[in-house]
A = this chain, B = another copy of it.
């Protein structure tokens, strides 16, 4: 049974999405719905996946980059027809079981997949439907149970008034004995005007053969949620947003106002950390305990230490240490490593640089492609001139150096330990340790100039 497999139906167009994109590629919390489904399968130890693509299939190919087997459903002839395209894949898994699920129902979870399989096996079912109790089951197929499993799935349009009151709905997720599925697929026929083959029909066929059909009622009714339009997509995003925020609250993370807060599903946050309004955290970001992040931060793929405070900061693919204070209005670009105790003030960009412990970069400064020591003090308006139009070069600054305001450090250049640069200097050569470097003309005074100018200003007003 180790090679149970899954077929993910990802051929849908999503006409009301008004987009070229196949529906499973629309994103919930920044990740395509298809990826949510793939991850749930992998978490449930299903590694043999076959993805059925259809509408604008090249987008699916581009997204998957060959990671999984795919088959093409050339015509949109129903869910049963979609599964038929995977016949070769299914035949390779003839002795095991196959999970069928939709690539645009992102909230399927590992626990549901595993528990449904367990039931499927222990009851010896040929097919096991995953069902969910829905507050409003309108539009869903209803599960008709009988003593010996289920007797059928009744679609909304075929349901009696009594059946419409049943709130146990078909989620569209199935475990099949692969062999039973293949046989049943051969027997379904297009019984509607559009000539479509419905996967649901296999259930009746299987039961009519005297095989057992069961239903696993999942405690997670969200497995049934999908989106047909941008409004539905927004709802999925909101559900996911609040679920993740609640999970973090259970872990001791503090939210004072969740407006505008979005946290990706792979983000890890320590207890006692506060996340303020408008903050977006994505990727594989890890934030340690007792930090304050926000308001209005955007943090992607960063690792952040303890007791660090970020206020109106955008940070990407960087490492930030403990007791760091950054903001407001700061941009940390990729490949920066900001050590503990650093203070970064307002209107500062750091890019691809190492900033040593206790260093201060107070305002209006750009530190790019630089290796900065400990306890360095940057004045206001410092620029590391890292690009000469042809190549990029690095700047090196030793411990305890003091970089004067509006200094240009023309890379490649080294400022030695405890060296100074005078305000307004353009530094084109290395500065020895402990030295002062100064590049400056003589200041001259022209008396009366301002007065003449002022008369012009007053006249103008």
Which A residues fall within an 8 A CB radius of B?
17-21, 26-27, 29-30, 229-231, 233-234, 237-238, 241, 246, 249-260, 262, 271-272, 276-278, 280, 295-296, 298, 311-312, 314, 328-329, 331, 345-347, 349, 363-366, 368, 377, 379-381, 383, 385, 387-391, 400-402, 404-406, 408, 410, 416, 418-420, 422-429, 431-451, 453-454, 456-457, 460
Contact A277 B254 (CB under 8 A): no
Q: Which of B29, B230, B250, B400 contacts A253, CB < 8 Å?
A: B230
Contact B349 A295 (CB under 8 A): no
- With A312-B314, A347-B364, A364-B347 as contacts: A437 and B445 at CB distance below 8 Å: yes
Q: Which of B391, B435, B454, B460 contacts A446, CB < 8 Å?
A: B435
Distance in angstroms between the alpha carbons of A95 and B238 in the assembled complex: 55
Contact A424 B408 (CB under 8 A): yes
Contact A257 B237 (CB under 8 A): yes
Q: Which of B18, B406, B416, B453 contacts A252, CB < 8 Å?
A: B18
Distance in angstroms between the alpha carbons of A427 and B29 in the assembled complex: 49
Distance in angstroms between the alpha carbons of A19 and B346 in the assembled complex: 32
Contact A259 B256 (CB under 8 A): no
Chain B neighbourhood of A435, CB < 8 A: 445-450
Contact A405 B383 (CB under 8 A): yes
Q: Which of B329, B347, B368, B406 contacts A408, CB < 8 Å?
A: B406
A369 → B minimal CB distance (Å): 12
Q: Report the nearest B residue to A17, measured CB to CB.
A: B252
Distance in angstroms between the alpha carbons of A301 and B437 in the assembled complex: 42
What 12 additional pairs, Cβ within 8 angstroms, besides A389-B457, A437-B445?
A18-B252, A19-B252, A20-B272, A230-B252, A260-B260, A364-B364, A368-B380, A389-B453, A418-B453, A425-B443, A434-B449, A439-B443
Chain B neighbourhood of A379, CB < 8 A: 383, 385, 387
- With A296-B278, A443-B427, A454-B418 as contacts: A234 and B255 at CB distance below 8 Å: yes
Chain B neighbourhood of A387, CB < 8 A: 377, 379
Distance in angstroms between the alpha carbons of A408 and B407 in the assembled complex: 10
Distance in angstroms between the alpha carbons of A383 and B404 in the assembled complex: 11
Chain B neighbourhood of A259, CB < 8 A: 259-260, 278
- With A251-B18, A449-B435 as contacts: A426 and B427 at CB distance below 8 Å: no
Chain B neighbourhood of A27, CB < 8 A: 256
Q: Which of B331, B365, B380, B438 contacts A329, CB < 8 Å?
A: B331
Distance in angstroms between the alpha carbons of A445 and B429 in the assembled complex: 10
Chain B neighbourhood of A331, CB < 8 A: 328-329, 345-347
Contact B252 A234 (CB under 8 A): no
Contact B443 A428 (CB under 8 A): yes
- With A364-B383, A366-B363 as contacts: A19 and B457 at CB distance below 8 Å: no
Q: Which of B311, B347, B449 contacts A349, CB < 8 Å?
A: B347
A144 → B minimal CB distance (Å): 36
Contact A349 B364 (CB under 8 A): yes
Give 3 nearest A-B pairs by CB, closest first: A18-B252, A436-B449, A424-B426
